Amino acid sequence: MSFAVRPATQQLRPPGRTIINTLKSSTINDVARLAGVSKRTVSRVINGSQAVGESTRVKVEKVIAELNYSPSPQARGLASSRSYLLGLIYDNPDALYLDDVQRGVLEICSQLGYELVVHPCRYRSETLVQDCFAFINRSKLDGVIILPPVSELDHLASALKQAERPYVRLTSVLLDETYHSVVSDDRAAAAEMARYFAQLGHQNIAFISGPQRFKSSTERMEGFQLGLSAYGIKLRPDWIVEGNNSFETGIECAQQLLSGTDKPTAIFANNDQMAAGVLKAAHDLGIKVPDQLSVAGFDDNLLASRIIPALTTIRRSVRQMAQLAATKIIMDIEGNRHAAGHVAAKVAPTLVVRESTKSL
């Protein structure tokens, strides 16, 4: 059977037509028929098999392009038990972080033909593991990317490992093989903040930590303490208070810290939300920031640059971490675990100095 090749003058058609063509998708059979080869050969071309003659490949690719053909992920999945779907598992109150992650992951996904399915869940749920597996199985996800703090749950990870389901965890300390991990070095970042505070001349420094059950919290706290100790500064135990990362607890912790007779001259909070709470409390107490009190946060979320005074904070390149995670997981899915292990696993956050800190 022979076909006249349609000239590429599609511009002349009404735009609606093109769209409809795109909509009613053709199948592998159409391609095979038009190219005068077997299904199997088309399949080989689609999957980039080496065992295809150059001229055959060109011919098939041409037909594919003409037909605007793209294989059905459903049929593909059914036949090969893959779905070309990645899952994103999180229980994250920070919408900004989440959005960054999604964009980063999607940049890679769309290049490699995967889609992203989102799944908020409850970190503290008894049935978290079951929930996640139900999610994964329901849509036969090829793999999942897990965001903190859920990513810190070792029992989830080991269940995934046991089930041989590819996964990558975004964490703030290495908890798993490098092909399962992308970590932001929160410890080093907090140490850098300590150094900055010390060089500003602060001695009386307070720290508002996040929940101690989160690794990210302990990493930041320890990094901060370590950094300070290099300058011979030690945090007073009563100037270490714990919040839950919310704006409200930031206010409460700050009130506690700033109510005594001797007050700290600088406060480092575990995240920007709480730092914003500190700003609020200080404002209400009539304490001027940064003149009487320096304040810093962690995350560099939207708030940080909008608030008055703008927050000195730590910026993590969440987007980049997400890209790395997506790259790794797709490599793993496609049988390249070894290579995935060699993709960068650690991202260094950076200090962003704004208006909320000042030398003594």
302 binds, among its own copies, DNA, none (CB under 5 to 8 A by kind): its own copies
CA distance 51 to 33: 20
Please identify, using beta-carbon distances, which residue of 109 and 182 lies nearer to its own copies: 109
Taking the C-alpha atoms of residue 194 and residue 289, their distance in angstroms, rounded to an integer, is 18
- Output the CA–CA distances (angstroms, integers) from residue 281 to 203, 208, 241, 277, 355, in the order listed: 21, 13, 15, 6, 17
Host H or E run for residue 240:
strand 240-242
Decide: is 29 part of the binding site for DNA (CB under 7 A): yes
The 71-110 site mask, x for binding its own copies (CB under 8 A), equals -xxxx-xx----xxx---------xx-xxx-xx--x----
What are the angstrom distances between the C-alpha of 210 and each of 11, 75, 100, 254, 268?
58, 47, 22, 13, 11
Q: What residue has token string 């839950």?
A: 244
Which residue, chain included where needed, has tokens 């927050």? 311
Instruction: Work out whether 103 is an interface residue with DNA (CB under 7 A).
Output: no
Residue type, 87: G
Rule CB under 8 A: choose which of 16, 48, 237, 286 binds its own copies.
16
Is 138 a binder of DNA (CB under 7 A)? no
CB of 54 to its own copies, least distance (A): 28
Query: 27 touches which of its own copies, DNA, none (CB within 5 to 8 A by kind)?
Result: DNA
Residue 129's Cβ-count burial label (10 Å; 0-12, 13-18, 19+) is middle
Binding site residues, DNA, CB under 7 A: 25, 27-29, 37-41, 43-44, 46-47, 50-53, 55-57, 69-72, 74-76, 78-81
Positions that interact with its own copies (CB under 8 A) = 15-16, 18-20, 22-23, 25, 70, 72-75, 77-78, 83-85, 95-96, 98-100, 102-103, 106, 113, 115-120, 129-130, 133-134, 136-140, 159, 162-163, 165, 247, 273, 276, 279-280, 283, 302-303, 305-308
